[in-house]
Amino acid sequence: MDIPLTIKDAGAALRAGQVTSVQLTEALLDKIRALNPTLGAFITVTEDAARAAAADADAKFAAGIDVGPLQGIPFAAKDIIATKDAPTTANGLILDPAWGAGYDATVITRLREAGMVLLGKLVLNEFAIGMPDESKPFPMPQNPWDLERSASGSSSGTGIAIAAGLALGGLGTDTGGSTRGPSSFNGLTGIKQTFGRVSKFGCVPLGYSLDHINPMARSAYDCALMLQVMAGFDPKDPTTVDVPVPDYVASLSGNVAGMRIGLPMSYFFDHPELDPAVRDLFAFRYEHVALVGYDPHPRIPAPIAV
């Protein structure tokens, strides 16, 4: 079957009866089994729980119950976020196995209540810092666009899984770039939301006053759908703010008329170490920087699978 690559498209297909959540989930589980040994995205795959959640989503659809645009959508979570049906390791060997056991982090609870289907837990840099360590018994993350290149971190598994089409959305964290790096390196959208907007309850801390849990997906629209559910006050996290959550999707009209975009040129596009191929992917003209050899239709290599 042709697997939709975005949450938006998958949601439309589910509601049109073109696919069921069970079919979508099984197709992604098949891809995980085939590609994860090479890509190193997942630490744990929760197949039975995912099948049960998908069947529940389909049953709700059949009964005319639609809890929102995330119903029946498979996603995965960085293995630093507690889930009741899988252990949390933080990609390390020293975290007490009892940490996070038997309960969901607030973001997981909210996404499950919105009907999302958790496929499993994703690789990261140990405790969300440092570099991949081949000496540890965890999968080694590989960039699906080019296996010889970095997938960045620390939310590397989330970036890999979405880029390779192993999940339609995912959770990353960011303390100093851990969502933004993997989103950039793997060709995705990741949003580092405003501090206090999303609860951190159930997430192994790195820097508690700096940590963020963020949505990652293939489009800004998909991230907005996830953030809409994730955001909001949580009494279990004293740093969350008790203010209304705006409609993040409403502003995504696709019309950029009247917008002003700041484009930093110095130290970026004029840097002597900037790869010309990277520079030429940007369709920008600026009076102080000549983008030599710009091609409006550049050829971009395909990921290992989508």
The residues annotated with a catalytic role in the active site are: 78, 154, 178
For 213-239, give one letter per residue: b (16+ CB within 10 A) or e.
Answer: bbbbbbbebbbbbbbbbbbbebeebee
Helix (H) or strand (E) holding 8: helix 7-15
CA dihedral 55, 57, 63, 66 (to 10 degrees): -170
- Quote the Cα angle for 274-277-283, to 5°: 95
Helix or strand or coil: residue 184?
A: helix
**CB contact set of 48 (below 8 Å; sequence gap of 6+):** none
